[in-house]
Amino acid sequence: MANFFIQQTHSLSTLTINLEGDTIVVTPDALRLTHPITNTTGRALYTSPLHLWEHSTLRVSSFDTNFTFVLSATEYEHEPSDGITFFIAPIDTTIPHDSYGGFLGLFTPENAFNASANQVVAVEFDTFRNPWDPRDIHFSILANTISSETYQNFERRENEIVSARITYTPPLRGESGTLTASYSYPPYTTPASTITLPINLHTVLPQWVSIGFSSSTGDYTQTHIVRTWSFSSQLLSIENTKEENDVYNTVRDV
C-alpha cells in the first residue's frame, strides 16, 4: 500500500508537476494553462506515473479525481476558445505539433481522427464549436480521437469556479469498465451534468500512464486556470479475488 499527499502552501515549486508549453504559475494556488493570445497550448502533468493496469496479475486500477478550474474570456466579441481537458496518456507523452485550437493540446491535424495512431483518453470541457464537434459547446469523453464518444452541452459561466469529478470503475466480474464524469457550480450540491462511457482502459492505454491537464486557444482566446486537484487510485483484480489499496496521490490548492 502506498500513500502520497502533497499540500501546497507557499510555492508551486514544491509540487512535482511538469509544466509544458505555455503553462505558468500565476499565483501560489493557480496554474494558467494558456496565455491570453491566439494559438497557444499548455499542459500540466503529475510527474509520477500511474500504474493503470498490470498484465501479470490481472489487476486494473480504479480511480477518482476531483479538480476545480476557472474559464475567463479575454475578448467579448467572439466565442471564447478553446477549452480544457483532464487526460490520460503514455508516460512519454509530449505536446503534439500544431495541437492548438480545437485539438486541445492532445492531437495533431493529421492524427486527430485516426484512433489507431493515438493512445489518449480525456474528458473535455470544450467552449468552441469546431466542424467535427456536436451542435453546441460541450462536455464530453474522448478516446483516441478528437470526436466525442459521449457528451452533454456544457454550461459555461464566466469566472466561476467549476468543480469536476471523474471516476473509473474497471471491468470486474466480466462487466465493462465505466468512465464517469460530472461537473457542478456553487453551491456544488447537484451536478450540472453527468456523462458515462463504457470503456476498458486496459485495452486502450499502456500499463503505466501519465495524468494531467491540457488546454489551448485558437483564432479566439480565453484563459484556463486550474485551482485545485486531488487524485486517488486502487488496483483491483479483474477476477475480484484480490484487492490492493493504492492511494496514488492527492494534490490540493494547485
Report residue 1's pLDDT band, with 50, 70 and 90 as the boundaries.
very low
Please say if the pLDDT value at position 64 is more than 80: yes
Residue 121, in any domain of the structure:
yes
Residue 3 has pLDDT above 70, yes or no: no
Mean pLDDT on 221-245: 76
Q: Which residues, in sequence order, are bridge partners of residue 251?
A: 6
Indicate which CATH number applies to the domain containing 199. Answer: 2.60.120.200
Average of per-residue pLDDT across 72-82: 83
Q: Is residue 122 part of a domain?
A: yes
pLDDT score of 238: 66
Residues 99 and 108 sit within 8 Å (Cβ to Cβ): yes
Q: Is residue 247 part of a domain?
A: yes
Mean pLDDT of 180-199: 96
How confident is the model over 29-56, as a mean pLDDT? Answer: 92
Domain count for the chain? 1
Is there a domain that residue 147 lies in? yes
Decide: 192 and 185 in contact? Cβ < 8 Å: yes
Q: Which three cell numbers stand for residue 219?
A: 483564432
Mean pLDDT of the chain: 87
**Does 153 fall in a domain?**
yes
What pLDDT score does 57 carry? 82
Q: What is the pLDDT of residues 119-169, one digit of tens each?
A: 999 999 999 999 999 888 999 999 999 999 999 999 999 999 999 999 999
Count the Cβ atoms, other than its own, within 10 Å of residue 97. 11
33 in any annotated domain: yes
Secondary structure of residue 191 in the 3-state scheme: coil
Residue 1 lies inside a defined structural domain of this protein:
no
Straight-line distance from the first to the last Cα atom of the chain, in angstroms, rounded to the nearest whole number? 25
- Domain range enclosing 204: 6-252
pLDDT higher than 50, residue 31:
yes
Q: Which residue has the higher pLDDT, 243 or 48?
A: 48
Q: What's the pLDDT at 135?
A: 81
Are residues 127 and 156 in contact, defined by beta-carbon separation less than 8 angstroms? Answer: yes
Residue 85 lies inside a defined structural domain of this protein: yes
Q: Average pLDDT for residues 68-89, to the nearest whole number?
A: 90
Mean of pLDDT values over 96-115: 96
What is the CA angle 59-176-192, rounded to 5? Answer: 110
CB 88 within 8 Å of CB 120: yes
